[in-house]
Structure 1
Amino acid sequence: MEDLLRPIYQEKASHKNTLGILMIEKVVQHSPVTDTFNIVLFVIVQNAEHPVFIKHYAFHDQKAALHIVDEQKVREWILYGSNRKVIDWLLNGKILFDRNEYISNLRKELLEFPKENRKLKMGLEFAKLIRRYMEGRSFFEKEQFLDAYNHVLHALHHLARLSVIEHGFYPEVTVWNQVKNIEPQIYKLYEELIESEEPLYKRLELLFLASDFLIHSKLDVGASHLISVLETKNEPWSIFDMYRHHELEAYSIDLVIMLEFLVEKNVLSIETVHTKGQGIYHRYYFVEKNL
């Protein structure tokens, strides 16, 4: 099928704004990496009219997909982890075209995983972990055990991704294979949750106890990025200022729940300022200086 697609990717390679082309082949049936397609052509371009453009092709009983993506969108996916299979494509895809070694350099960057990118990604995973954990605990307390199970499973996934990032790797689609070798106690929690023969409420009860410890152990690395941003100015922050900050906007809806968690853990403190309303105060956040 590669021969049939050659005219397509050769034509794309002839465009001066094409930076690189990768080919990803399906290696197992129903592969999530290629969305079950036999072949994916991944074309990275500069200054595209559309950030993402996709075409699908068919030949006899096979199918192929063409993804043309602006490099800024690729960078966004890498930084925020919002399209996980792209990491797999970039690291493992076959290079068909590489203008000025663009893809080779991008691969090198992914493998080196710059520290600043790591800090942000750990912060985002930690914020998602806190939200899922707290929502799961809330459902557990209301004896909604299936909903609690769903949220705890997601919380463990974010904990696993956080661990992989902490050790200097990008979390891939097969994150549990990664974390099994990196931090086996997290993998063990996951195994116990899904495989134990204990009643569901008992499994959840034990997991919440263990998760409390693991979340606390990740507090420093998980909060590091947010703390470093808040320390860039000497006065307390309003929530509005945080949402407007370019480095914090990626936290999105998880920012507030992470702030409240850090206040509860005495990592952040609150300053209140009078408003015009009697007994009503503005609420501002600052970092405890003794940390």
Structure 2
Amino acid sequence: MEDLLRPIYQERASQPNTLGVLFIEKKKPISPVTDNFDVILLIIVKDPEQLWYVKHYEFEGKTAAMHIVDEKLLKQWIDTSTYRRAVEWIITGIIIYDHNEYVANLKDELNRFPQDKRELKMAIEFAKLTRSYSEAKDFYETKQYFDSYSRILRSLHYLARLAIIEKGYHPEVTVWNQVKRMDLEIYKLNEEFISSNEETSKKVELMLLAIEFALSTRAKGCAKHLIEILNQSEEAWSFGELKVHPEITNYAFDLSSMVEYLTEKKILKAVPVETKGNKIYHRKYEVSK
């Protein structure tokens, strides 16, 4: 199959801005990793006209998808789990062209999963988890049990991804298969929630307690990325200042729920600052001493 596709990738490999080409083959009949294509060709380039270009092919009853991706966009996908398939493509893909060992080094970095990258990913997943948990709790308290149930499922998914990152691995597309090997306790939480014969309201109530425990025990470690940014200044930060900080961009949408949760748990401290309004204060944040 690679021989048939060689003219396509060789043309790209000969271009000076191509950094690497990977070949990813479908391993099973239904393959989310390859979007059910028989082959994925991932071509990493530098400064292309189009950041992400995709082309589909058909040959001898087979299908292939070629993804030409800007290296900076690809790294953003990796750091933020924006497009999880890309991480698996790099980890499992066969290198068929590698300029100055660019792809080999990228594979090595993914396998090492440096601490700073891990902390960022933990912060992203934790922020999503705090928002999802907060919504589930709100729906439960207003007796919207089915909406709460769906948010619980989402929360468990974020919790599962968090557990995988804590173990030093990147979450794959098939997250629960990973969790079963790495954190059986969280796997069983999900299994019990889905298979329980309890009434929906009772299932949700019990799972809210379990998620709250999981959140509170992980809070400080998962907030390390945010705490390090807060500690960059001796002054307290306004929420607006935090929200536009370049290192927080990747979880800015969920930052509010994360900050509120951490303040509630006294990991962060809300500092009131006087305004011109009578008895109205700006709320700023710092790390609790």
Normalising TM by the smaller chain, what interval?
over 0.9
- Secondary structure of 1:33's match? helix
8 Å Cα contact 2:56-2:66 kept in structure 1? yes
Report the residue type matching 2:181 in the other structure. N
**Distance between the aligned counterparts of 2:49 and 2:149, measured in 1?**
43
Match of 2:184 in 1: 184
- Secondary structure of 1:68's match? strand
Matches within 5 A, 1:160-171: 160-171=160-171
8 Å Cα contact 1:242-1:249 kept in structure 2? no
8 Å Cα contact 1:192-1:203 kept in structure 2? no
**Distance between the aligned counterparts of 2:14 and 2:158, measured in 1?**
41
CA deviation digits over 1:212-266, x for unaligned, max 9?
A: 2111111121111111110111000011111221111211210011111111111
- Structure 1: runs of 5 or more not aligned: none
CA deviation digits over 1:34-75, x for unaligned, max 9?
A: 111111100001111111011111225322111000000010
Match of 1:43 in 2: 43
The alpha carbon displacement at 1:151 in A equals 0.8
- Structure 2: runs of 5 or more not aligned: none
Matches within 5 A, 1:92-171: 92-171=92-171
8 Å Cα contact 2:220-2:267 kept in structure 1? no
Matches within 5 A, 1:48-67: 48-67=48-67
**Distance between the aligned counterparts of 1:220 and 1:184, measured in 2?**
22
**Distance between the aligned counterparts of 1:229 and 1:47, measured in 2?**
30
Match of 2:26 in 1: 26
The alignment yields a C-alpha RMSD, in angstroms, of 1.2
Report the residue type matching 2:239 in the other structure. I
**Distance between the aligned counterparts of 1:286 and 1:31, measured in 2?**
46
- Secondary structure of 1:173's match? coil
Identity percentage over the alignment?
Answer: 48
> If the length of structure 1 is used for normalisation, what is the TM-score?
0.96
Report the residue type matching 2:99 in the other structure. R
Match of 1:76 in 2: 76
Identify the range of structure 1 (25-34 vs 253-262) with the bigger mean alpha-carbon deviation: 25-34
Report the residue type matching 1:179 in the other structure. V
- Secondary structure of 1:150's match? helix
The alignment status of 1:256 with 2:256, answered yes or no, reads yes
**Distance between the aligned counterparts of 1:174 and 1:196, measured in 2?**
23
Report the residue type matching 1:268 in the other structure. L
8 Å Cα contact 1:21-1:95 kept in structure 2? yes
Identify the range of structure 1 (110-119 vs 248-257) with the bigger mean alpha-carbon deviation: 248-257
8 Å Cα contact 1:127-1:255 kept in structure 2? yes
Match of 2:199 in 1: 199
**Distance between the aligned counterparts of 2:249 and 2:3, measured in 1?**
44
**Distance between the aligned counterparts of 1:215 and 1:28, measured in 2?**
36
**Distance between the aligned counterparts of 1:60 and 1:19, measured in 2?**
29
- Secondary structure of 2:35's match? coil
**Distance between the aligned counterparts of 1:197 and 1:114, measured in 2?**
42
- Secondary structure of 1:79's match? helix
**Distance between the aligned counterparts of 1:97 and 1:66, measured in 2?**
14
- Secondary structure of 2:237's match? coil
Match of 2:15 in 1: 15
- Secondary structure of 2:103's match? helix
Identify the range of structure 1 (185-194 vs 202-211) with the bigger mean alpha-carbon deviation: 202-211
Match of 1:218 in 2: 218
**Distance between the aligned counterparts of 2:175 and 2:160, measured in 1?**
7
CA deviation digits over 1:109-149, x for unaligned, max 9?
A: 00100001111110111000000111011111222222111
Match of 2:288 in 1: 288
